Every structure is written in C-alpha cells, then in structure tokens.
Amino acid sequence: MQKFQDGLGAVILSPAHTLTWIPDLQFLRGFKLGANVPWIPPKLTPQGVKYGQNYINSDKTVAARLRYRPMMETIRDAAAWWQSLPAERRANNKFSYKPDAEAAALAAWHAKTG
C-alpha cells in the first residue's frame, strides 16, 4: 500500500503532502472512515459472505489472458482520465467522505499518537 501511495504522490501534482498511516480500524470507524479502507477485513455481506479487496480472485481473468499493467502507468492514466472530465463533474463528485472529516481524523490521530 505504501508503494501505491508513493506512486500517487509522484503522479498527482499537488501541494506538498504527507502520508499518515492509521493502523487502527476502530479509530477509523469512529470517524466513519472504516468503509473507505476496503482492504481491511472483516467485511461481510448480510449473508455472511466475505468481501473486499483481500477476497478478489482474478484467476479466471488471468486464465482469459488478463495482463496487469505497471502500477505507475495505471495511476498516470487514471489521473489523466480524471483531468479530462469537465470541471463541473470533478467539482460535484460524490466522494464517500469530505476533506473536513479526514482533517478531523488526522488531527485526532496526531493528538493521540503525539
């Protein structure tokens, strides 16, 4: 995950940024951010079936000749696609959490961990 985040930082031209790793799922859930971490189990459907990034199996698509692209290429292409969208569409995106919620969680985490 850190390699992915570093790749994002290298491709997305933004003001200086820092990464803060918060390895406490309960803490994230307290700020309603737990659902934004799809690779952290447990996630279960109402029927008790596990799901999330850790449970994706690509064996069938690999057998059908899926070829993975280099991560940095995928990040660059996704960023270029995003920038190709009209400004109004980008401004009205429905992200699952707002920047102020992220800022509050970061401030609380830094206060907790010193």
Task: Give the pTM.
Answer: 0.62
Quick check: is 9 in a domain?
yes
64 inside domain:
no
User: What is the number of domains present in the chain?
Assistant: 1
Q: What does pLDDT average to in each consecutive run of 10 residues of the chain (114 residues)?
A: 82 75 85 68 77 79 93 91 92 79 92 91
User: What is the residue range of 20's domain?
Assistant: 2-37+72-113
* 56 domain-assigned: no
Residue 50 within a domain: no
pLDDT recorded at residue 36:
66
Please spell the DSSP secondary structure of 44-86, one letter per residue.
B-TT--B-SGGG---HHHHHTT--PPPHHHHHHHHHHHHHHS-
The torsion angle over the Cα atoms of residues 79, 12, 39 and 113, rounded to 10 degrees, is -160
